[in-house]
Amino acid sequence: MTVYFDNAASTKMRGEAVDAMVRVMHDNYGNPSSMHHMGRQAAEQLAQSRKDLAGAIGARPEEVYFTSGGTESANWAVSGLAQAFSRRGRHVVTSAVEHDALLMPVKKLEGMGWDLTYIMPDSTGRVTPESFASALREDTVFASIMHVNNETGAVNPICEYSKEIQRRRLKTILHTDAVQSFCKIPFTAKSLGADLLTVSAHKIHGPKGIGALFIKSGINIAPLILGGGHESGNRAGTEALPLIAGFAEAARLGRLELDETAALVSDLKEYMIMRLSEEVPETIIIGDGGSPFLLSLSVPGYKSEVMMSFLDGEGICVSTGAACKKGSRSRVLEAMRLRNDVIDGALRVSFSRDNTQDEAERFVQSLKRAAASILKPL
């Protein structure tokens, strides 16, 4: 029987989201831009889904734009802000531990002559308010720091960054990647203070291939995809209504269940840490464990890829870090200045409401067997 502890990479779709998608595909297949009654019916579904997602974010419906996922949303935020506000300056602030969906487009700006400041995290994996404040300049066009790190679970104080920008009366626009915090950690767009905010469906038990970008009213960024008047002229392409309906339902229910789910996974994470300390005492817990949904750990002296392969053979799914890195050494853990043997032995365990204490115990016992049977490299 499979034990799935890789929910930061992707989650199992919940039945209600599947049902919403099937209903739209079967009964509501018109194009939302068409003028006939089937088109109007589809447009009504699109409007309701946008309202449901906006409610989960704590935003107004007109501030939510659907995309193909978190990667497109991050790319659009970077490209759109750079094009729209380059006259203000050519300086960008981000961190060295962002997801590649953000880092690669900002590096592209750097290659075009923009000035980039990459903030290093502290030993817990967080970007401190002090380091953020030091990086800001009068000509900082925008700043982008993720809310929850996808490898360590470190929670960054986005609201403190926003307050610093306001305190200094800067025109800097603040974007945050909230993919790993949406429907997992309580927040609203207003409480975070972010001007732009990225979310994704398949991290919250919704479908793959759909995400959204929150853009605060009054901020106009350049489109990334051209070709039509969809999404109020900001993102061309016929809206993927079945995916949108599934996303909206997953977000609506995820927000309603947030407190219950967070408490469940928090207890599960604490149990796993306790049992690891008893059964595999050489285990090192990485970071401050800000998010209850993510646990970064290491068994120094062992190669994480070998450990992960052993666990996979026992039916347990974990990762060595971000799924898109496919085994590459973690630059996030390197940026935290951890020892090489800790980095090389790192594993990421990520939870969902579907996980159980029995599964956590199975993981602990399998890791114990792995440590006892795998030879340490010389």
CB atoms within 10 A of CB 309: 12
Q: Provide the number of structural domains found in the chain.
A: 2
Phi-psi category of 144—alpha, beta or left, where left has phi over 0 and alpha has psi -120 to 50? beta
Residues 48 and 87 both lie in one domain:
yes
Rounded alpha-carbon distances, angstroms, from residue 360 to 222, 277, 304, 326: 46, 13, 18, 24
For residue 378, the model assigns a pLDDT of 46
Q: Is the pTM of the predicted complex or chain greater than 0.85? A: yes
Residues 251 and 262 both lie in one domain:
no
- Closest C-alpha among 301, 299, 318, 300 to residue 309: 318
Residues 298 and 192 both lie in one domain:
no
For residue 329, the model assigns a pLDDT of 77
Annotated catalytic residue, options 159, 183, 317, 324 = 324
Residues 224 and 290 both lie in one domain:
no
For residue 322, the model assigns a pLDDT of 57
Residues 245 and 319 both lie in one domain:
no
Q: Which of the 8 DSSP states describes residue 59?
A: S
**Tens-digit pLDDT profile for the chain (378 aa)?**
899 999 999 999 999 999 999 999 999 999 998 999 999 999 999 999 999 999 999 999 999 999 999 999 999 999 999 999 999 999 999 999 999 999 999 999 999 999 999 999 999 999 999 999 999 999 999 999 999 999 999 999 999 999 999 999 999 999 999 999 999 999 999 999 999 999 999 999 999 999 999 999 999 999 998 998 899 889 999 999 999 999 999 999 999 999 999 999 999 999 999 999 999 999 999 987 799 999 999 999 999 999 999 999 999 999 986 555 555 678 999 999 999 999 999 999 999 999 999 999 999 999 999 999 886 664
User: Would residue 355 count as lying in a domain?
Assistant: yes
Residues 61 and 191 both lie in one domain:
yes
In sequence order, which residues have a C-beta less than 8 Å from that of residue 86 and are 6 or more positions away? 141
Residues 179 and 38 both lie in one domain:
yes
> CATH number, domain at 307?
3.90.1150.10
Q: Residue 159 catalytic?
A: no
Residues 275 and 295 both lie in one domain:
yes
> CATH number, domain at 216?
3.40.640.10
Phi/psi at 57 (5° precision) = -85, -25
In sequence order, which residues have a C-beta less than 8 Å from that of residue 224 and are 6 or more positions away? 72, 75, 76, 79, 80, 235
Q: Which of 217, 236, 256 is the last residue of a domain?
A: 256
Residues 227 and 266 both lie in one domain:
no
Residues 48 and 93 both lie in one domain:
yes
How many angstroms separate the CA atoms of 339 and 83, rounded? 40
How many angstroms separate the CA atoms of 96 and 100, rounded? 10
For residue 87, the model assigns a pLDDT of 93
How many angstroms separate the CA atoms of 322 and 350, rounded? 11
Q: Which of 256, 285, 302 is the last residue of a domain?
A: 256
User: Would residue 248 count as lying in a domain?
Assistant: yes
For residue 229, the model assigns a pLDDT of 85
For residue 321, the model assigns a pLDDT of 67
Domain span holding position 7: 3-11+258-373
User: Would residue 209 count as lying in a domain?
Assistant: yes
For residue 377, the model assigns a pLDDT of 64
User: Would residue 162 count as lying in a domain?
Assistant: yes
Q: Which of 228, 256, 284 is the last residue of a domain?
A: 256
Residues 229 and 285 both lie in one domain:
no
How many angstroms separate the CA atoms of 235 and 198, rounded? 15
Phi/psi at 4 (5° precision) = -110, 105
In sequence order, which residues have a C-beta less than 8 Å from that of residue 19 and are 6 or more positions away? 249
User: Would residue 378 count as lying in a domain?
Assistant: no
Residues 120 and 169 both lie in one domain:
yes
Question: Residue 337: how many CA atoms within 13 Å on its side-chain side?
Answer: 6
